[in-house]
Amino acid sequence: MQAIEREIDRNRRFKGTFSLLMIDIDYFKEYNDRLGHLKGDRVLCTLSNLIEINTRQIDVVSRYGGEEFTVILPGIEKENAKIIAGKLRELIEHYHFPEQEGQPSGNLTISVGLASFPEDAETAKELIDKADKALYKAKESGRNRVCVYGVDVQ
């Protein structure tokens, strides 16, 4: 939250833009319940490392809670953020996590919601809420997809 607020302050001052990705691991509860919390924790660590090494050094990757992550993409407008989110989604879909074959889709996947400042929101809370609405739409629409606030959901 503090990183998002700092990014909003910076972008207000310099009239810039940034995007926020909300990422959730699809069917993670099933994986965790089936294989145990230690293996679930390893998946969380592996996934966060994959996101971090496949984003820029100035991007901010954070665990938001449970199996949710956020990625702040400074200077990235919605159109390019969607491309980045799609690449991360594909990367995770094709990565081989231990014992993922028992997942409903046969592998671990992520759903991603995306919103941008200032286009979609003026405050950190609004931006998170809108990215979260887009994430909910991605999950509701079948998971393993990227949904964009203002395009896929209002």
| Residues noted as catalytic | 67
Residues 6+ apart with CB under 8 A from 3: 60, 62, 72
Structure tokens given for 153: 């959901």
Residues constituting the chain:
154
Q: Which long-range contacts (CB under 8 A, 24 or more apart) does 1-7 make?
A: 1/124, 1/128, 3/60, 3/62, 3/72, 4/70, 4/72, 4/124, 4/127, 4/128, 5/124, 7/60, 7/72, 7/74, 7/117
Q: Distances from the Cα of 125 to the Cαs of 77, 79, 130, 131, in angstroms?
A: 19, 22, 9, 10
Query: Which of 107, 105, 149, 153 shows the shortest CA–CA distance to 128?
Result: 149
